[in-house]
Structure 1
Amino acid sequence: MDQSLFISLLNPAVSGMLSLAFLVIWAAKREHRHVLLLGLCYLCVGAGFVLQGFSLGMPFEAAKFLSNLLFFCAVFLLARAVIARQALRVPVFRLAACGIAGMAVFSWFLFLQPDFVARIFAVNYGLGAMCVVIALSLRKARKLAFVDRLLIWLAALRALDFFIRPVVVALFENGHSEQMPYITSAYWLTTSLSVILFSVLIALTLLTTVAFDAMQELRIQSRTDALSGLLNRRGFEEETAPFFDQTKRKPLPLGLVLADLDHFKLVNDRHGHAVGDAVITAFASLLRQAGAGKAIIGRTGGEEFAVFMPQCDLGASRLFAEGLRAALSTGALEGVTPDLGLVTCSFGVAARAGDESLAALFKRADDALMQAKRAGRDRVRVTYIRSEGDSPIDVREWRAGT
C-alpha cells in the first residue's frame, strides 16, 4: 500500500473506531446525551478526512468545503458534549462565531481567491479559537476531577497546535501550488499525525470520564433510596459520619429527628402499594423542603425517616419536628389521594451529648420515637441527657399533638 494512501485511510479508520465505541456506550446508557455527541463528533472527523483524501467524484472545491465544514461541526459537537457534561451553559454564540468566521475566510480563499496557505490559516485559527472557548468554559466548573483538568490541558494544547502548526508549515511549503498533490504536502502529513495523536488522547480522556461518571452513578445509587430519592441507611451514615469525626475534640451541637409514618401498613393494605408509594414520595418532598440547605435526610426503613441537623441543639431540632407534625395536620402532603384522609407521623428527637457516637445518638432518638408511638402517635417525643452528680440521667418527655 502507498504511504500516502495509508495515511489517508488511517485517520478515518481511527475516528470510525472511536465513534463506534462512544455510540455503543450511548446505546447502553441513552440518558447520557453527551456520549452520543462524542460519537457524532468522531464520525464527523472520520467523514471529513475521507473527503480530504478522496474526492469521491465531487468537484475539488465542494469536497474541500464539505470536509472542513465537518471538522468545524466535530469541534462544535465536542464542545457541547464536554461543557454540557459539567452542567455548564454552552457558549453557542462564541463557538458559532469562531466556526462561521473560519469557514467564511476559508471559502474566500477557496472559491474567490485560491490560496492554499491562507486556507490553512483560516481553518486552523478558527478551530483553535473554538478549542480556547472549550478550555475557558471548562475552567468554570465547580468540581473538576483529574480527568477534567486533563481535558482542559488537552484542549489548550490542541489550540496551541492549531495556532503554531500553520506557521511552521507555511515556512516550509514556500508557496504551495494548487496542482501539487494534496496528500503529499507537509500540511497534510502534519495534520494527519496531529489529529491521530490528539484524537486518541482526547478519546482516552473522554472514555475515562465516561467510566468515572458510571462509577459515580453506581456510588450514588448504592447510597440512595430509589422511591423517595433520599439517602438510604448506608448513605445517611456515610454523610453524617464526618460530623462526628470532626467534633471529637470540640463537640458541636448536632440534632437528630426520627420520623415514622403512623399506621402505614394499613395504608398499603386498604389503598394499595401505589398509594403507599405516593405517601412516601410526598413525605420525602416535605422533608426536603423543610430541611433544605441545613439538614441531611434519609429514608432508613419502610416508613421510617431520619433528619440529621448540624449546628442545631435539642430545642431547634424539637421545633423542626413540631413544625413537620403541624404541617401534616393541615394536609401538607401533595399528590396524595383525598380518599386517604389525614396522614400523621410520630417523631423522636435527640441532640448529641458530649462525644456521643452516631449509633448512640440514633438509639436514643429511636427510643424516644417508640415512646411517641406507644403514647398514641401523632406527637413529638424528646430525649436528653442531664448530669445529676456523677451519673447521667436519660430524661424523656412527650408533647401531645395539639
Structure 2
Amino acid sequence: MLFVAGLLAVCAAAQVAVILAPTAGTIATVGAATTLLALATNVRLFRRFAAGTGRARVAWFFAGLASSGWTLACLLYVLDVVATGVPSVHIACIAIAIVLLSRSRLGGTTAVTVLTGGFAVFAGATLAYLWLGRHGWSWYVHSLPAGYGTASGLLHFAGRFHMPAVGEEPAVALGWRGALPYVPVAGAFAVAAAAYRTGAVDGVMLSALLLVAGLVLVRQYLVLRTNAQLLAEVNRQRAELAHQATHDDLTGLPNRALLYATLPSLQGGLVLLDLDGFKQVNDTLGHPAGDRVLVEAAGALRAAVRAGDLPARLGGDEFAVLLADVRDEREAVAVADRIIAGIVARVASSGCPVRVGASAGVVVRTPGLDDETMFRLADAALYRSKAAGKGRVELHVAA
C-alpha cells in the first residue's frame, strides 16, 4: 500500500512539474510512474482472481484482463513503439465503463462501482486527449498525471472491495441504465457521419461502418431478449420451488411448514381433522384409491372453509384449518361440521365403495394461549371425538 501511495504522490507531483516545465524528462517520469502503478494494479487484481471462486473469480479475471490492456498501452507509450495504441485502449475503456455502469446497482460500494469509476476516469482523460490534441496542445503535459494516475489508483483500490455475488446484481439492467450499452454504438454512428461529411472516409467506408454498428445493435438486442427470457424462466422456477416448499404435492393444499409459519399471527381458531375409514380404503382398494380419497377430501376442505381461512394437509390423512376472525366457539364448530359433511358427500359421490368420514377437534385462541398449547388442545379434542364414535366435532372448553 505504501508503494501505491508513493506512486500516486509521484503522479500528483508530476502534474505540477509537467505544467511548469514540460520537458521530456518530466513526461518520461510520469509515464514510468503510471506504468509501475498499472503493473501494481495488475498484481492486485490477479491475486484476487487466484483467491476467488465461482462468479467472483471470473469477474476478477476480466477486471485484470482489462487492466492489462492499460498496462500494455503504458509500456508501448514509454517505449514509443506504437503511439496510436494508447487512444485505442482508452476508447475501449469508455465502452467497458458504460457496460459496467449499466450492470451495477445504484447505491453501495462494491468492486464493480469502483472499477466503473476508474474506467470512467479513463474515458474522461481520453476525451481530454481528443479535444486538446485537436487544438494542437500537448495532452500528456496537461492530463496524464491527474487523469490516468487517478484512474489507475481507482482500479488498484477496487481490489479492496468485494465482487457482488449472485443475486446482488440485477440480471438485466433496469430503467435508463438499460440503454447505456447502446451509447458507444450511437457514438459510432455520429463519428462515421462526421467523418463522411469532412471527407475523411468515402461512401464505401461509411457503409461498412454503419453495417458493423447495425450488426452490433442487432446482436445487443438478441442478447437482451435472451437474457429477459432466461430471467423470466428463472423467476418461474423460483416461484415453483417456493410453492413446492410450502404446499403438499398430492393435494395442492398448504403443508405443515406454511401452517406453522402462519399460526403465530392467528387470532381465530384451529381445527384438526382425521379421516375415518381411510385405513380400510388403503387396505382393501390400494394406495392409488387412497390418494384419490385424499384429493377429494382436500377439495371438500377448500369448498367448506371461509374466505381468509387456511386449509392444510399435515400428512397422511391428517388435515387442519386455521380459522380467521371467528366471533365465538359456535362459529368454529359450524365450520368444522360443514367440513365433515362436505368430505362425506364428496368421497361418496366419487364412487368410493368404502364410507369415509372425518372427526375434528376445535380450539379457539384465547389470551395467553401459545401455538404449541393450541395444537395440543386441538389434538386432545380430536382424540375425544374419535373415542366418542367418530364423525363428530369436539370443542376444547377452557376450564
TM-score by length of 2: 0.48
Q: Looking at secondary structure, tell me which structure has more helix per residue.
A: 2
Task: Please say which structure displays the higher CA radius of gyration.
Answer: 2
1 or 2 for the larger relative contact order (CA 8 Å, sep ≥6)? 2
TM-score by length of 1: 0.48
